[in-house]
Structure 1
Amino acid sequence: MSHEPNHGTTVAVIASYGPSSNLVETVRALTGQVDHVVVVDDGSPAGSETILTDLELAGATVLRSPHNQGIGATLNAGVDHADVHWRPEFFITLDQDSVLVGDYVCRALDTFDVAQSAGVAVAFVCAESYSGHPSPKWHEAKGFAQAFDPMQSGFVIPRATIKTVGPFAADFFIDGVDSDFTMRCREAGLATVIGPGCSIEHDLGERGKATIFGKQFRVLGKEISFNYHSPSRVYYICRNGTMLSKRYARRYPIWVARRLIEESKAHLLRFLFSPNRVTLLTAATAGFRDAFGNSLGRIPKELENRLK
């Protein structure tokens, strides 16, 4: 696919926390695909200043938050800064551990053009695959594949979408921020289009091996593993996932049911095989409780300390 440079300004917004030096290389690579790169550091601990300075030397605008505000607020800060200074036509949102493969932005913008020409109202263009894993699909929109519940890392979002659906959900803090944005786009009649050939290399996090009495658990000869998350992260996963179900079950029951099935499978492995499963269950219970009490924002400090 070839991209003609007629889309106005494009700005990449990267959410950062305790970044490694790999992010410097990511920024250098991005400067060849977009007009500006904004890194929003979300209250990193001491020791990150050298890398933040290196990011500026690599060509990024670095915004430093004195406190940890969560992924939604961090992305919103970057989008707002870009909007004030450059009024871009497209925002590209990224996690610090994501790398766009090849001419990702060019392909995404070409996909946007073709879909728009076909009469598709595009919410954003997202990745076709993450570290080799295909993005699960939803219903097609006039022949264009839509993503079911895509990660925000790699969203290529036209300015019109932000104006229509508003910013990311800062009160979710972390987890489900991308899902909520996706569903607000759907409610507005916008399509979550998958960009053919748009691939991301992304750190999929810590994998735990399922073991029973010290032996690897297998199903049909295949080793079983799972994504391990800290207790605080499990709190957010359970709380925000429940909030999403409450918000969208009536209007999008199939989407909610499919998402619940996937989350339930992940929880089953997590609670069966994680070494600290009791603490994880405590975190999950608190998350479900706070969701039904409509309590959002950052995890309560007392609970966070107890889960440590």
Structure 2
Amino acid sequence: MQRPDPPADTAVAVVFFRPTAEQVARIVERFAGRMTVLVYDNGGIPPDALARLQGAEGLTRLGEGRNRGIAAALNALAEAAVAAGYARLFLLDQDADATPETARRLGDALDRAAGAEPPPALVGPAPAPKPGHKAPIYPPRPGVPPREHLRPVEFLATSGSLVDLAAFAQVGPFREDFFIDAVDLEWCFRAWARGRSCWMDPGTAIPHSVGRGTIRARFLPVAMPDQPLFRMAVYVRNTAYGWRLPHVPARWKLKQAAYLPLQIGLYWSRHRFAPRVLARLLAALAQGLAGRLGRPADAPP
């Protein structure tokens, strides 16, 4: 049976940071030779995997092997896709279990959303379960009705999303001073504020996870990703800074204001109430409230 052709107007964008050789091989095997693949090297690609990338058909590697953060990588990939004449960009991280068929189905979904008001900026898949990890939840956008079996959502993860590059130009680039966490959340809220919309296709699902596991409260129905300390600190900082942004809705700010102290407490508990952990998170909270962003001093190179 012949496989359907992938969309010709779409390039694939993948950000690599310390991937395994297997993760690199999966991207090459699934996409190289079928779609244009743009890869950003944020560092740590094994030498044998790097050689495989360099020999892959239709694959372009960007970046210098230094960790510039997810936002800077995504912006560079979007710029390269626009320069190459593509109208859409299928964003993936190294863990994403996606295929050209996923890109085609999301392209069909973006076409179905084209008549929505406000017009779409991106469409993404529903999160499929992944053992040992907490799947993300994408809250529905109040006041916007579903369309063509698609659901309007406040935000989606960048990985697995199909972005309309004309909308990307209107909304603006991802915030590089966020470096990594909440980059997608802030961009989607900005898209809604600038007259664009974000949609989830329940008929398309890929596994998605954050961190290295899940932290669960003992007596409350609360779960959160378990991440390295620098990641958790950046999340706290960027969340606190989001309270300063006018395009982030008050309903989301109130929810996070209640939830963030609980997350800090759970994370601190997981790390046996180590004073240095609490000090790092409280310092990050203060940085966010004061608007001191940028690359974290303890971010891996």
TM-score normalized with structure 2 length: 0.83
Contact 1:120/1:142 (CA < 8 Å) preserved in 2? Answer: no
* Match of residue 10 from structure 1: 10
| Number of equivalenced pairs | 287
Q: In structure 2, which of residues 143, 146, 162 is the aligned counterpart of residue 143 of structure 1?
A: 146
Please list, as runs of the form range in 1=range in 2, the aligned pairs for 1:60-75 lying within 5 A after superposition: 60-75=59-74
* Match of residue 247 from structure 1: 245
1:289 matched to 2:280? The reply is no
Please report how far the alpha carbon of residue 88 of structure 1 lies from its aligned counterpart in structure 2 after TM superposition.
0.6
Q: In structure 2, which of residues 112, 119, 122 is the aligned counterpart of residue 121 of structure 1?
A: 119
Amino acid at match of 2:279: T
SS at match of 1:65: coil
Over 3 Å counting, the alpha-carbon distance change for 1:71 and 1:87 in structure 2 is same
Over 3 Å counting, the alpha-carbon distance change for 1:130 and 1:168 in structure 2 is farther
Amino acid at match of 2:54: E
Over 3 Å counting, the alpha-carbon distance change for 1:256 and 1:225 in structure 2 is closer
Amino acid at match of 2:28: V
Please report how far the alpha carbon of residue 204 of structure 1 lies from its aligned counterpart in structure 2 after TM superposition.
3.6
Over 3 Å counting, the alpha-carbon distance change for 1:123 and 1:208 in structure 2 is closer
Cα distance between partner residues in 2 of 1:65 and 1:276: 38
* Match of residue 108 from structure 1: 106
The Cα offsets for residues 50-83 of structure 1, whole Å up to 9 and x where unpaired, read as 2122123343322232422111001111111222
Please report how far the alpha carbon of residue 201 of structure 1 lies from its aligned counterpart in structure 2 after TM superposition.
2.1
* Match of residue 29 from structure 1: 30
Q: In structure 2, which of residues 187, 207, 215 is the aligned counterpart of residue 201 of structure 1?
A: 207
* Match of residue 213 from structure 1: none
Larger CA deviation: 290-299 vs 59-68: 59-68
Cα distance between partner residues in 2 of 1:148 and 1:263: 18
Please report how far the alpha carbon of residue 111 of structure 1 lies from its aligned counterpart in structure 2 after TM superposition.
1.3
RMSD: 2.9
Over 3 Å counting, the alpha-carbon distance change for 1:181 and 1:193 in structure 2 is same
Please report how far the alpha carbon of residue 138 of structure 1 lies from its aligned counterpart in structure 2 after TM superposition.
1.6
Amino acid at match of 2:29: R
SS at match of 1:92: strand
The Cα offsets for residues 233-273 of structure 1, whole Å up to 9 and x where unpaired, read as 12201111111121147x61012223444444433321223
In structure 1, the gaps of 5 or more residues are 211-216
Over 3 Å counting, the alpha-carbon distance change for 1:182 and 1:175 in structure 2 is same
Over 3 Å counting, the alpha-carbon distance change for 1:6 and 1:181 in structure 2 is same
* Match of residue 183 from structure 1: 189
1:78 matched to 2:77? The reply is yes
Please report how far the alpha carbon of residue 163 of structure 1 lies from its aligned counterpart in structure 2 after TM superposition.
1.2
SS at match of 1:62: strand
Cα distance between partner residues in 1 of 2:137 and 2:89: 20
SS at match of 2:39: strand
Contact 2:16/2:42 (CA < 8 Å) preserved in 1? Answer: yes
Cα distance between partner residues in 1 of 2:100 and 2:11: 17
* Match of residue 277 from structure 2: 280
Please report how far the alpha carbon of residue 17 of structure 1 lies from its aligned counterpart in structure 2 after TM superposition.
0.8
Amino acid at match of 2:269: L
Over 3 Å counting, the alpha-carbon distance change for 1:209 and 1:171 in structure 2 is closer
Over 3 Å counting, the alpha-carbon distance change for 1:112 and 1:226 in structure 2 is closer
Percent of aligned pairs with the same amino acid: 23
TM-score normalized with structure 1 length: 0.82
Contact 2:138/2:153 (CA < 8 Å) preserved in 1? Answer: yes
Contact 2:31/2:99 (CA < 8 Å) preserved in 1? Answer: no
* Match of residue 258 from structure 1: 255
Please report how far the alpha carbon of residue 36 of structure 1 lies from its aligned counterpart in structure 2 after TM superposition.
0.9
Contact 1:118/1:142 (CA < 8 Å) preserved in 2? Answer: no
Give 1 or 2: higher strand fraction.
1
SS at match of 1:68: coil
Larger CA deviation: 137-146 vs 150-159: 137-146
Contact 1:72/1:177 (CA < 8 Å) preserved in 2? Answer: yes
Amino acid at match of 2:82: D
Cα distance between partner residues in 1 of 2:6 and 2:29: 23
Cα distance between partner residues in 1 of 2:100 and 2:63: 29
Amino acid at match of 2:87: E
